[in-house]
Amino acid sequence: MVTKQELKNSLTELGIEKGMILEVHSSLSSFGELEGGADTVIESLKELVTEEGSIFMPALRLSRELEISESDKKLGITVKIKILDPDTERTAMGIVADTFRKMADVYTGRDIISTSGWGKHGKEALKGGLDYAIKNGGKALLLGVDIYKLTAMHYVEEITPKDITEIFATSEEIDRLYPPDKWFIEAGHPPVKAWYTIQKMAYENGLIKETCIGRSKVMFFDILSVISIYENELKTDPYGLWGMK
């Protein structure tokens, strides 16, 4: 079992410190056994960062990916996710983020795509989601998850060529069966998972520091440095990035 003190020691060695701005994504189960569960993760981060810093976690009201039926496949559906009610207890964000967003001292948006924030600049979560963290030296802490959980990556995607984004577009028939106000549906996928290419490039450039805490692989890096790689690739070689050359 990983104790709270062991968790704090490992996070301190990784570089988590007072006054830091953190974007945190996590899988509690990745630790194996962790003393105190989700509360221990949150308490440890708060104690290390202190109220002089800020912690942001995802608060997207989305279910985990649901099983795709044979009829779904015939329609070309590749991803099926339910949009959840505002007061839902559990989401695909994980139990740490779900526990965090319900705390009395945490600011959480009410939109489908929202962010939770705590600390000195926590209220910024209500204004611009992760904008503050990205633009003010924020760091990303990925506890047992990889870059595909990094919400900040979406903040540079507006420059993605339209013919790439249209790969995921749904049809009128799909929208009738799965109304967009109740479902998040994708109806296609590019040849490669581009974000893993960005993660690999970040490692090669020495931008990601990692460790293991219990069974959990932990990644720590400057948010802007990593998403800037993605932004540059979208500007210079988007089709190569997505394997569409």
Q: pLDDT of 156-183, one tens digit each? A: 999 999 988 888 899 999 999 999 999 9
Please enumerate, as own/partner, the contacts of 4-8 that have beta carbons within 8 Å and a separation of 24 or more: 4/35, 4/36, 4/40, 4/43, 4/44, 6/213, 7/34, 7/40, 7/41, 7/44, 7/213, 8/44, 8/47, 8/48
**Distance between CA atoms of 162 and 93, rounded to whole angstroms?**
28
Side chain identity, residue 137 = G
**Distance between CA atoms of 240 and 245, rounded to whole angstroms?**
5
The answer to whether the CB of 114 falls within 8 A of the CB of 100 is no
Confidence of residue 190 (pLDDT cuts 50, 70, 90): confident
Burial of 205 (0-12, 13-18, 19+ CB in 10 A): exposed
Every domain of the chain and the residues it spans: 4-63+86-158+194-241
Burial of 237 (0-12, 13-18, 19+ CB in 10 A): exposed
Nearest 10 degrees: CA dihedral of 44, 46, 48, 52? 180
Burial of 5 (0-12, 13-18, 19+ CB in 10 A): exposed
Side chain identity, residue 156 = V
Burial of 138 (0-12, 13-18, 19+ CB in 10 A): buried
How does pLDDT run across 74-131, given as a tens digit for each residue? 999 999 999 999 889 999 999 999 999 999 999 999 899 999 999 999 999 999 999 9
Burial of 120 (0-12, 13-18, 19+ CB in 10 A): middle
**Distance between CA atoms of 112 and 121, rounded to whole angstroms?**
21
Question: What is the pLDDT averaged over residues 178-191?
Answer: 93
Amino acid 87: pLDDT: 85
Confidence of residue 18 (pLDDT cuts 50, 70, 90): very high
pTM: 0.95
Question: What is the pLDDT averaged over residues 195-224?
Answer: 98
Amino acid 212: pLDDT: 97
How does pLDDT run across 35-72, given as a tens digit for each residue? 999 999 999 999 999 999 999 999 999 999 999 999 99
The answer to whether the CB of 195 falls within 8 A of the CB of 147 is yes
Amino acid 90: pLDDT: 96
Please enumerate in sequence order all residues whose Cβ is within 8 A of that of 39, keeping only pairs 6 or more positions apart, or say none.
Answer: 99
Among 221, 243, 58, smallest CA distance to 154 is for 58
Confidence of residue 191 (pLDDT cuts 50, 70, 90): confident
**Distance between CA atoms of 117 and 134, rounded to whole angstroms?**
13
